[in-house]
Structure 1
Amino acid sequence: MDRADRDRPAHLADGGHLGSGASAVHHREGATMVYLTRTYRFCAGHRLFRPELSDAQNEQLYGSACSRVHGCGHDYQLEVTVGGQVDPVTGILIHPDDLDGILYEQVIEPVDMEFLTLHHPFCRGRVPTIESLAVCVWDAVAEGLRASKPPAYLHRVRLKESDRLAADCARKGSRRMHFLTRSYEFAAAHRLHSPYLTDEENQEVFGKCNNPYGHGHNYRLEVTVRGKIDDRTGMLVDLRELDRIVQEEVIRRYDHRHLNHEVEEFRELNPTAENLVRVVWRRLRHRIKGPRLYKVSLRETEQNVVSYYGEEE
């Protein structure tokens, strides 16, 4: 995750551990840490179900598409980030071919073009939700990195099922943290105009975005939650419930609205992306139960993305 990546990891003490298959990595005092990220892709089908539940109960839990007998398929995108020290002789952290070899042997070959269920060897009894698959990838890669030379450790795994859904496992000190990110879209118009500035100052600061008639954007909203994955269901959060909350608190309020004129929060508040992302955070934080709201990101344009972690809340 973005914020986890910014924080330098605390190294594990002797005998420490980080989830299944991980091992402690020791570094010279004061050594500089670097991080390498490689991207991979694979295709797989999966079926989400618990054998002790009825078809109706599984459909209620996982949805009709993924719980049915034939399941559904995805083109997965996998990002693996490893950390460590640069070898003084070669100038590299780990040879890309070595990391690729681990990924292809431990992950890609076992799952590519496979039909994944909790009975599949790679899943090890876990329902293959996106969250659980990210954990399975973590365990497999961490095991493969044990013998890497120079030693590297697993820092982050990010698995994307689609443009709308991604799961992350990230190292934070001696802990492994789990995240789920869900994406949404809405269209809205706004005018950037601060009540604390004169008309001339507003024009100077905001330029064409200060047009009295406003302008619009196709916003892309990413909501990231952090929490514990349920061992039984393989879910970090109920996606249907999360979707319902975001629809009620954000999409129905803002979609195809002029924010300045039709949304109460922005009667006086300048509807910049920075202000909008904080308003969205405040609308969601108390509605999401169980997992913790971790981050809200708002993509206003391809060049402008704002993220908020609730530091001021």
Structure 2
Amino acid sequence: MIQQIYPQVQHNYQFELNKDMHIAAAHYIPHEDAGKCQKVHGHTYFVNITIAGDDLDDSGFLVNFSGIKKLIHDRFDHTILNDHTELFSDKDPSFFPTTEGMARAVWEVIQRELDTKVNKPKCVQVFVRETPTSYVVFRPKQKEEQQ
């Protein structure tokens, strides 16, 4: 069993769902400052996805856990992250497959799917641990209310 303490994200939604998973994947960072990480190498990433919302769907779920796993685990597990060119780039540093880039990419995939749901849940945080001592938290910026 995976047991982890995560940074908390503040929100005003009634429901908060968290899904944990391990993803075995390889990557390389296409920049000279990455040192030995310029070479292809792998990690067992630990990913936690936090989804929040006020309304449940017709089946009583905020989001079905199995759907989250299919979206992320089935997509990235046992792949080379750099090969996911719809999410990562070897040219734009904002889209390198770093831990930060992985957290952003997971959020994008999840939120794109959530936007199709009638109950409109929101992915409020993605936690990605790359090694036992290093992790990144991605939280989308909240849109400022229009005046």
Shorter-chain TM-score tier: 0.7 to 0.9
Q: Which residue of 2 aligns with 1:192?
A: none
Q: CA–CA distance in 1 between the matches of 2:99 and 2:126? A: 12
Secondary structure at 2:107's aligned position in 1? helix
Which residue of structure 2 aligns with residue 23 of structure 1? none
- Percent identity of paired positions between Structure 1 and Structure 2: 20
Q: TM-score, normalised by structure 2?
A: 0.77
Q: Secondary structure at the match of 2:63?
A: coil
CA separation of 1:95 and 1:102: change in aligned 2, threshold 3 A: closer
Q: Is the 8 A contact 2:125 2:140 kept in 1?
A: yes
**C-alpha deviation, 1:33, in angstroms:** 1.9
- The residue identity in structure 2 corresponding to 1:8 is H
Q: Deviations over 1:82-109 (max 9, x none)?
A: 110143976542333xxx324423x223
Q: Which runs of 5+ in 1 are unaligned?
A: 10-31, 51-57, 176-313
For 1:89 and 1:46, locate their aligned partners in 2 and report how far apart those are by CA, in whole Å: 39
Q: Equivalents in 1 of 2:116, 2:131: separation in Å?
A: 33
Match of 1:123 among 87, 92, 95: 87
Matched, 1:111 2:76: yes
Which residue of structure 2 aligns with residue 170 of structure 1? Answer: 139
Which of 2, 7, 29 is matched with 1:2 structurally? 7
1:81 to 2:50 alignment:
yes
Q: Is the contact between residue 156 and residue 170 of structure 1 (CA under 8 Å) also seen in structure 2?
A: yes
User: Matched residues in 1 for 2:117 and 2:78: separation?
Assistant: 28
1:39, 1:80 within 8 Å by CA — same for their partners in 2? yes
The size of the alignment, in residue pairs, is 134
Structure of larger gyration radius: 1
Q: Which residue of 2 aligns with 1:143?
A: 112
**Gaps (5+ residues) in structure 2?**
1-5, 90-94
Q: Identify the residue that residue 63 of structure 1 maps to in structure 2.
A: 35
State the partner residue of 1:266.
none
Among 16, 25, 28, the residue aligned to 1:47:
28
Residue matched to 2:17: 36
RCO greater where, 1 or 2, for CA within 8 Å and sep 6 or more? Answer: 2
